[in-house]
């Protein structure tokens, strides 16, 4: 059974700079693809780039029809290597084997492609083992390091790769992926998780399945309602359980500020842009005072008083 549909890979979302490299036949030998590990677009993009390198027709992007492209689609191409994506799969012996494979001649095509999902899980020692290979790679070899944040990789690795960030999903796209990741829930739950996560399927999945994340998500949703209504008393009630833990209180404020900066959240909660900007400023000031060890209960009361004005 095919691992990918032809449409998924042929229509893989390529940021403009990357698309230009591929279309001009000037793809670099090592890329860091930065994005949510749960976002299927990230791995689709990696496989689309593999297809571009391995395609027999060699017309820039993969054609999706030649024998090599069909094998990429089915996940059986012998010159395409996909890492396990776990810390256990990236032990020293596995990295040494990868280095040996990279220097072996291609079995079918003119080059090889190595996709390393969750590259942030590769230990410092093993990243250093990879470094020499990325510094002086075999010809016609492409290394794709996938990670949620480029700064989780060593600076020496980053200095030798080109980093391409995948933009977040819009709410509808994120909700669609969440339906696949956590089937059987209500449409309202998917949309709410997509909005709260800022278009991150991984964060959205945790909001739907992890009790701690779900609790914070529900609190944030209700806080937004209270702010939209100017209900200071309701805000104080909702903030009270978080005031006992300064770190949790801080995390709640950071998430609340991010949501108030979202146009889609503002539209969902009927908060005008000027009002959202003012609310966000007040939340940020509350966060700053919390970081300076202000009394959390008094900080919540001051924020509530501002809402009433």
pLDDT digits (tens, 9 = 90+) for 259-270: 999 999 999 999
Residue 1: predicted pLDDT? 38
Residue 25: predicted pLDDT? 84
For the segment 76-117, what is each residue's pLDDT rounded down to a tens digit? 999 999 999 999 999 999 999 999 999 999 998 778 999 999
Residue 169: predicted pLDDT? 85
Residue 285: predicted pLDDT? 96
Residue pair 91/122 in contact (Cβ under 8 Å)? The answer is: no
- Residue 235, pLDDT above cutoff 90: yes
Q: How many CB atoms within 10 Å of residue 210? A: 12
- Residue 2, pLDDT above cutoff 70: no
Chain-centre distance for alpha carbon 238: 29
Mean local confidence (pLDDT), 106-131: 93
Rounded alpha-carbon distances, angstroms, from residue 102 to 19, 78, 81, 116, 124: 25, 12, 10, 13, 20
Q: Sign of torsion, CA 212 217 222 226?
A: positive
Indicate the pLDDT class of residue 6, thresholds 50, 70 and 90: confident
Rounded alpha-carbon distances, angstroms, from residue 154 to 4, 35, 42, 126, 271: 31, 17, 21, 11, 42
Residue 202 DSSP SS3: helix
| DSSP line for 258-270 | HHHT-HHHHHHTT
Q: How many CB atoms within 10 Å of residue 293? A: 8
Residue 134: predicted pLDDT? 93
**CA atoms of 170 and 176, how far apart (whole Å):** 10
Long-range contacts of 152-158 (CB under 8 A, 24+ apart): 152/119, 152/120, 153/32, 153/119, 153/120, 153/127, 154/124, 154/127, 154/128, 156/127, 156/128, 156/131, 157/32, 157/127, 157/130, 157/131, 158/32
Share of the chain above pLDDT 90, in %: 75
Max CA distance (Å), the chain:
72
| pTM of this prediction exceeds 0.85 | no
- Structure-block tokens of residue 216: 């914070």
For the segment 32-71, what is each residue's pLDDT rounded down to a tens digit? 999 988 888 899 999 999 999 999 886 688 998 999 999 9
Where do the DSSP E strands lie in 60-183?
Answer: 80-82, 112-116, 141-147, 162-165
Mean local confidence (pLDDT), 14-21: 88
For the segment 136-173, what is each residue's pLDDT rounded down to a tens digit? 888 889 999 999 999 999 999 999 999 999 888 889 98
């Amino acid at each position: 059974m095919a691992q990918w549909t032809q449409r998924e890979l042929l229509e893989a979302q390529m940021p403009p700079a990357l698309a230009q490299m591929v279309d001009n036949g000037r793809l670099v030998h090592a890329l860091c693809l930065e994005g949510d590990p749960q976002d299927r677009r990230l791995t689709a993009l990696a496989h689309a780039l593999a297809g571009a390198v391995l395609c027999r027709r060699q017309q820039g992007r993969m054609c999706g029809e030649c024998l090599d492209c069909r094998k990429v689609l089915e996940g059986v191409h012998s010159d395409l290597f996909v890492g396990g994506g776990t810390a256990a799969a990236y032990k020293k012996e596995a990295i040494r084997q990868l280095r040996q494979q990279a220097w072996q001649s291609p079995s079918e095509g003119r080059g090889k492609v190595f996709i390393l999902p969750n590259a942030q899980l590769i230990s410092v020692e093993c990243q250093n083992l990879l470094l020499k290979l990325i510094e002086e790679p075999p010809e016609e070899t492409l290394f794709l390091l996938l990670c949620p944040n480029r700064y989780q990789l060593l600076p020496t690795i980053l200095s030798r790769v080109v980093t391409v960030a995948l933009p977040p999903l819009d709410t509808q796209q994120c909700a669609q992926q969440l339906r696949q990741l956590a089937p059987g829930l209500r449409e309202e739950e998917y949309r709410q998780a997509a909005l709260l996560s800022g278009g991150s399927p991984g964060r959205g999945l945790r909001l739907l399945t992890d009790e701690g994340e779900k609790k914070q998500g529900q609190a944030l949703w209700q806080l937004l309602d209270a702010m939209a209504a100017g209900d200071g008393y309701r805000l104080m009630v909702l903030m009270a359980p978080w005031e006992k833990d300064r770190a949790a209180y801080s995390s709640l404020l950071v998430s609340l500020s991010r949501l108030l900066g979202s146009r889609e959240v503002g539209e969902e909660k009927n908060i005008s842009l000027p009002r959202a900007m003012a609310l966000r400023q007040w939340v940020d000031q509350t966060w700053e005072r919390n970081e300076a060890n202000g009394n959390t209960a008094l900080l919540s009361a001051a924020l509530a008083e501002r809402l009433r004005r």
